[in-house]
Amino acid sequence: MKKLIVFVGVLFSIQITFGQKKDKVLATVNKEAITVSEFKNIYERNLDAIDNEEGRDVTKNLDLFINYKLKVAEAYRLKLDTLPSYIKEIEGYKKQLAIPYLQDSSRTAELLKDAYYRTKYEVKAKHILIRLSENATPKDTLKAYQKISAIRDRILGGEDFERVAVETSEDPSAKGDLKKGIQPNRGNLGYFSAFRMVYPFEDAAYNTKVGQVSEPFRTRFGYHIVKVDTLRESRGELEVAHILIKGNTAESKKKIDMVYGKLEQNQRFKHMAQEYSEDTSTKMKGGLLRRFGSGMMVKPFEDAAFAIEKEGEYSKPFQTRYGWHIVQLKKKHPIKSFDELKVDLKTKLMRSPIAKLSEKAVIEKLKNKYTITESPSLKSILDAGNANNVSKYQLDQELFRINDRSIQVKTFVTYAKRFSNRFLLDLYQNFKDQEVINYYKENLEKSEPAYASTLREYKDGLLLFELMQQKVWDKSSKDTLGLKSFYDKNLVKYKSKPLNSIKGKVMNDYQNYLDSVWIADLRKKSTITIDKKQLKKLIKSYK
């Protein structure tokens, strides 16, 4: 019986029958109908997991489903759905549950394919940046665009990209800082792959042919142009350990050579790192570094690590700006297939700003689907230029309407004041998109049956948990006299064993007893009818 109860607890979840005209009623519980297809859907959901005849018994499962319906109805009668803890939990769950509905599946599929290609192939590029604030005025934006366009024209006219980068780029690394020992990179970024750059930059680089210079494009840093040098198949990622001797003096070179000599005499790399490495963050771990790929380490280190062919082998001493190193290859991680990486790539995608592109596709579809009516006074409101300049008499006016929902000017003004340095026209477009999404989320239960079903399952389950806590579990653990009385009445069953030695079993039996008494009381107060003809047909179909 215990297995049956656990089964029903899992089984009574998704209740999906929506308006099927020919669906027969199997039972009614206080005027609430249980249809044949609703019960069949629930009964069959985990049927293969039940390994005994009692657990498969149709009549018993129907009785347990009726018990479930009675308990959920009781939870609503007691207004457990008004508890602050319940409301907070449901609101959090609704946000999580809505996430897949805010993504356009076809757009997400495109982005996933792009992400895999950009993981499998890495690009080597250089860039020039003209800085521009995200909140720049149209005048400053035009000025920056014209400046980067003029730079691009110079390069297309035959000037050397790197020389122009040193002269014009507002990325400090292009010029370097020789006083601090930082060499100019002349705009060179080395190799990179998916998720290593802000998305607009990554997208521009992968959409520019090798040897060509991109059109100007904008990121949150400003306007860029990028020139692609090469595209190659990714070398994957490595796990390595290293020994570092800091400094670039003759003494540091002498010390690293001594360590290398010991390694050549078959001393263990791990022990040498622990004894001699001056990288305090890794030496006690035998010099072990976190896994990395192209573009994540300084170039000499990266080149030396990827040059090692076999796991366990180590490099000769080499120099970086940090000092002298010896690196040992621990493990190679080649790029896996799309199917193997799909889940990981999708997780990265959903956690990155790139997911907004998929959400944007949803918004555009919703805009075409909904009837959106904008206020005749919208232009004058936007012409105010700043939220503080919108006249008071306009605040209670309608700004726009999405189907039957009205959005007032004051709601937009409150939103706009959070971004006081942004222009109203830009803010309005963002605000309208946000309100379209809000309207969609608020109506998800009406528009998406699967969402409504899953949410109802969670709501009922949460209420049932709270109700069982109050009626059964808390009572069995706190009512010590009741537990002792139950034990005394069933002493023969427990073979006179001391209560303390079998308390867990007694408490479990007492909970089942409390549950059965409670259900009997609920049934006594309820009107339950079962269509025996439909039940007989159902039993026959499963036999």
Residue located via tokens 């005994």: 52
Q: What six digits make up the tokens of 185?
A: 């990179």
pLDDT for 8: 39
CATH of the domain at 327: 3.10.50.40
Tell me, rounded to whole angstroms, the distance of Cα 394 from its chain centroid: 40
Could you give the C-alpha distances from 328 to 96, 333, 416, 445, in angstroms and in order?
Answer: 44, 15, 55, 57
pLDDT of residue 417: 87
Q: What is the DSSP string of 369-418?
A: HS-EEE-TTHHHHHTT-SGGGS-GGGTTSEEEEETTEEEEHHHHHHHHHT
Q: What is the pLDDT of residue 22?
A: 63
How many domains would you assign to the chain? 3
Tokens of 435: 């309100």
Q: Are residues 496 and 533 in the same domain?
A: yes
Quote the pLDDT of residue 142. 93
The answer to whether residue 194 sits within a structural domain is no
Quote the DSSP letter at residue 208.
Answer: S
**Residue whose tokens read 């009675």:** 70
* Per-residue pLDDT tens over the stretch 274-308: 999 999 999 999 999 999 998 889 989 999 999 99
What confidence tens digit (pLDDT) does each residue in 40-65 have?
Answer: 888 887 777 777 777 888 999 999 99
* Residue 453 sits in the same domain as residue 439: no
pLDDT of amino acid 55:
81
Report if residue 206 sits inside a domain: no
Record the tokens describing residue 106, joined without a space: 């076809």
pLDDT tens for residues 323-337?
999 999 999 999 999
- Work out the pLDDT band at 176, boundaries 50, 70, 90: confident
In-domain check, residue 298: yes
**Crossing angle (nearest 10°) for helices 199-206 and 105-120:** 70
Check which CATH number belongs to the domain holding 456 and give it: 1.10.4030
pLDDT for 1 beyond 70:
no
Q: Note whether 13 and 52 are same-domain residues.
A: yes
**CA max distance for the chain:** 101
- pLDDT in the model for residue 342: 94
* Residue 222 included in any domain: no
pLDDT in the model for residue 421: 67
Does a structural domain hold residue 62?
yes
Q: Is residue 142 part of a domain?
A: no
Residue 24 lies in a domain: yes
| Gyration radius of the chain's alpha carbons | 34
What is the arithmetic mean of pLDDT over 63-89?
93
429 is a domain residue: yes
**What number of residues does the chain have?**
543
342-356 per-position pLDDT tens digit: 999 999 998 899 988
Query: For 59-65, which contacts have Cβ atoms below 8 Å and span 24 or more sequence positions?
Result: 59/535, 59/539, 60/4, 61/4, 61/8, 61/11, 62/26, 62/27, 62/530, 62/535, 64/4, 64/5, 64/8, 64/12, 65/8, 65/12, 65/34, 65/39
- pLDDT the model gives residue 48: 73
Predicted pLDDT of residue 2:
37
Average the pLDDT over 413-438 and give the result: 87
Of 138-152, 183-197, 295-309, 373-387, give the lowest mean pLDDT range.
373-387
Residue 5 pLDDT grade (very low, low, confident, very high; cuts 50, 70, 90): very low
Has residue 338 got a pLDDT over 90? yes
Whether the pLDDT of residue 262 is over 80: the answer is yes
Say yes or no: 264 and 326 in one domain.
Answer: yes
Residue numbers of the domain that contains 14: 2-77+448-542
Mean pLDDT of 243-259: 95
**Is the pLDDT reported for residue 443 higher than 50?**
yes
Confidence class of residue 180 from pLDDT cuts 50, 70 and 90? confident
Please give the residue that has the higher pLDDT: either 37 or 169: 169
